[in-house]
Amino acid sequence: MTTSDFTIINNNQSPNLTPDGSTNLSSDKTKTLLTLRIIENLLIAAFLLTSIIIIAFSKNSNLAIYGVIILCVILVLFIINRQVFQDSQKLVYQYEVNRKAEIYTYLLNNNAWQVNNFTPVKAKALQYCQDLIDDYKRIRNLSRNIYYLLQITTVVFSGITPILVLVDKIESGQTWLKWLPVICPAIASILASIVTSFPFQKNWVAANTAVELLEAEQEKFILGVTPPYRFYDIADELQQQQKASQSLEYFIQQVNSIHLQQVQQSSEATGEKKEASAAKESQPAESAA
């Protein structure tokens, strides 16, 4: 997204604010996103149901062929629906960023310099911040889901081990049951090692902290509620422009500072992990000497 793109949005497709502060276009697109999300869930349900039917009636070759065809059609519709959803989501994000950037315009009674020069640049800065927020949200959600999944799976495999030991004592005649009391604890041990080796919880907490800090800084920049970002109450137009440029520069510096701080923490954690591994490897060598 370039500055010229935001200028086109401002000049040709400037959204009208509703009483609740949203835009008509944004509201319509939000409804569209909800509809597309429902269609996506229905397609996933249809895919799973068709797969179950194919497995249940796999002996019927004709039914299996029709089922495979239906699965292919569902998969194509899912891909198309997903692409339309992503395009609509990008359009909503663009208009939301543009709406946030235009708040000062209404505070300054549509000052010509504000509309033509500062608003597109501010929209670009907000887009940069929003991209970082979205990236950290993806990291947060992925790390949190993996951490919970591994923890729950470890607990389940550890908990069913005593039950499997009792089942093994029953004369069931199933040889594969005898291996379960050995396999399940091994899987639980592997999963526990993965959790301790990879800092999923730490990454989740760090990404969540970055999201909170970036969103707070973004809101202060949008609303101009702190001294570094407040310039709409300055009477002189030249001083107002200078203060606006300073607030934009300060915002970019703050966003980069938060981002680089998280990157530095990740680098330090990686370095500490390598040093700990090196120390563990050196201990057996010293013992052997």
Q: Is residue 107 part of a domain?
A: no
| pLDDT surpasses 90 at 235 | no
Q: Average pLDDT in the 17-24 region?
A: 44
Element containing residue 157 per DSSP (H, E):
helix 119-169
Could you tell me if 55 and 179 lie in one domain? no
Do the beta carbons of residue 223 and residue 100 sit within 8 Å? no
- The rounded distance, in Å, linking the Cα atoms of 120 and 5 is 9
pLDDT confidence of residue 149: 92
Q: Which residues contact 231 (CB under 8 A, 6 or more apart)?
A: 224, 240, 243, 244, 247
Q: Which residues contact 124 (CB under 8 A, 6 or more apart)?
A: 1, 2, 3, 6
Q: How confident is the model at residue 213 (pLDDT cuts 50, 70, 90)?
A: very high
- The rounded distance, in Å, linking the Cα atoms of 188 and 208 is 28
Could you tell me if 148 and 259 lie in one domain? yes
The closest alpha carbon to 270, from 226, 206, 210, belongs to: 206
pLDDT confidence of residue 172: 58
Could you tell me if 141 and 250 lie in one domain? yes
26 by Cβ neighbours in 10 Å (0-12 / 13-18 / 19+) ranks as buried
Q: How confident is the model at residue 20 (pLDDT cuts 50, 70, 90)?
A: very low
pLDDT confidence of residue 74: 86
Lowest mean pLDDT among 17-31, 147-161, 224-238, 252-266: 17-31
Q: How confident is the model at residue 5 (pLDDT cuts 50, 70, 90)?
A: very low
Domain boundary among 53, 82, 101: 101
pLDDT confidence of residue 255: 93
Q: Is residue 282 part of a domain?
A: no
Could you tell me if 140 and 96 lie in one domain? no
Q: Is residue 285 part of a domain?
A: no
| pLDDT surpasses 70 at 10 | no
Q: Is residue 278 part of a domain?
A: no
Give φ, ψ of 19 to 5 degrees. -55, -25
Residue with tokens 């990686």: 270
The closest alpha carbon to 6, from 130, 134, 119, 129, belongs to: 119
Could you tell me if 143 and 235 lie in one domain? yes
Q: Decide: helix, strand or coil at residue 23.
A: strand
Which of residues 198 and 121 earns the better pLDDT score? 198
pLDDT confidence of residue 21: 42
Domain boundary among 74, 101, 128: 101
Could you tell me if 168 and 251 lie in one domain? yes
Q: Is residue 160 part of a domain?
A: yes
Q: Is residue 106 part of a domain?
A: no
Could you tell me if 168 and 126 lie in one domain? yes
Residue 179's CB is within 10 A of a number of other CB atoms, namely 11
Number of domains the chain contains:
2
pLDDT tens for each residue of 164-174: 777 666 655 66
pLDDT confidence of residue 73: 87
- The rounded distance, in Å, linking the Cα atoms of 248 and 281 is 50
pLDDT confidence of residue 176: 67
Q: Is residue 289 part of a domain?
A: no
Range of the domain at 34: 1-101
Domain boundary among 77, 101, 125: 101
Q: Is residue 279 part of a domain?
A: no
Q: Is the pTM of this model over 0.85?
A: no
Could you tell me if 70 and 195 lie in one domain? no
Both tokens of 82, joined, read 């997903």
Both tokens of 264, joined, read 């530095």
- The rounded distance, in Å, linking the Cα atoms of 255 and 248 is 11
Residue type, 182: V
Q: Decide: helix, strand or coil at residue 242.
A: helix
- The rounded distance, in Å, linking the Cα atoms of 120 and 246 is 16
Could you tell me if 5 and 127 lie in one domain? no
| Phi/psi-derived region of residue 110, left when phi > 0, alpha when psi is between -120 and 50, beta in every other case | left
Could you tell me if 57 and 160 lie in one domain? no
Could you tell me if 118 and 174 lie in one domain? yes
Give φ, ψ of 266 to 5 degrees. -65, -40
Could you tell me if 162 and 31 lie in one domain? no
Lowest mean pLDDT among 69-78, 157-166, 211-220: 157-166
Q: How confident is the model at residue 4 (pLDDT cuts 50, 70, 90)?
A: very low
pLDDT tens for each residue of 66-123: 888 888 888 888 888 888 887 777 777 777 766 666 665 555 555 555 555 667 778 8
